A = this chain, B = another copy of it.
Amino acid sequence: MARTTDARERAIMTAERLFRTQGFAATGLTQILSESGAPKGSFYFHFPDGKTELAREVLARYGARATALIRALSAKNPGNAPAFVDQLCDAFASEMKSSGFTLGCAVQNLAAEAFAGSEDLKGPVRDILDQWSAAISIQFRESGFGAARSDRMARILLNGLFGARTDSRITASVDAFKDLAWMFRKLL
């Protein structure tokens, strides 16, 4: 039977925002529920595994959305790695700017916090990382780089974006993304 409300979806979207700005442990179910307008009584109907399942769903959506962005920019700049990197950095920068520099990365936050406790999130987090890395690597290969070098540069770009986002939150600026793009123009 098809779903008849979007309560579940709203909860996931609200949770993503809160996990990214406040962190996983600091965000209470109560806050997620009240801000999303989702009813409390049916939370465990929608998420039998509780907060952990919510986190898994957040991760899945966040991961897929970022992968889609990478592929879209890749398709828009075929064989043009520098332009691809520039636009990827720009996309991150503008998301940070438009959020008032409050948004962290869901993967980074959940990895940092939820790893110590439950094991359930480790697998998904690793999978997302690999997925992102592979999607970026393809763009580099199509720009003429060898497989090994593409993989390595993909990982460097990814980690650079992680770090740049941290820097961006702290300094409330997008300079870190610009520096990252500058560096890749040198590297490529």
- By a beta-carbon cutoff of 8 Å, the part of chain A in contact with chain B is 21-26, 102, 104, 107-109, 111-113, 115-117, 122, 125-126, 129, 152, 155-156, 158-164, 166-167, 169-171, 175-176, 179-180, 182-183, 186-187
Q: Are B159 and A167 in contact (CB under 8 A)?
A: yes
| Bound CA span A102–B116, Å | 8
Q: With A156-B179, A163-B161 in contact, do A115 and B129 touch (Cβ < 8 Å)?
A: no
CA distance A180 to B155 in the complex (A): 9
Please determine whether A152 and B167 come into contact, CB atoms closer than 8 angstroms.
no
The answer, among B115, B116, B126, B182, for a CB contact under 8 Å with A152, is B182
The answer to whether B162 and A21 touch across the interface, beta carbons within 8 angstroms, is: no
Complex contact B160–A179 (CB within 8 A): no
In the complex the two chains form, is B170's CB within 8 Å of A166's CB?
no
Minimum CB–CB distance for A22 against chain B, Å = 4
Known contacts A112-B23, A161-B163; is-contact A156 B169 (Cβ 8 Å): no
Query: By the criterion CB–CB under 8 Å, are A169 and B115 in contact?
Result: yes
- CB contact between A183 and one of B113, B126, B156, B169 (< 8 Å): that residue: B156
Q: Which residues of B sit under 8 angstroms from A25, Cβ to Cβ?
A: 22-23, 25-26, 113
10 A-B pairs with CB atoms under 8 Å apart are A21-B115, A23-B113, A104-B112, A129-B171, A156-B179, A158-B163, A159-B160, A159-B179, A162-B167, A186-B186
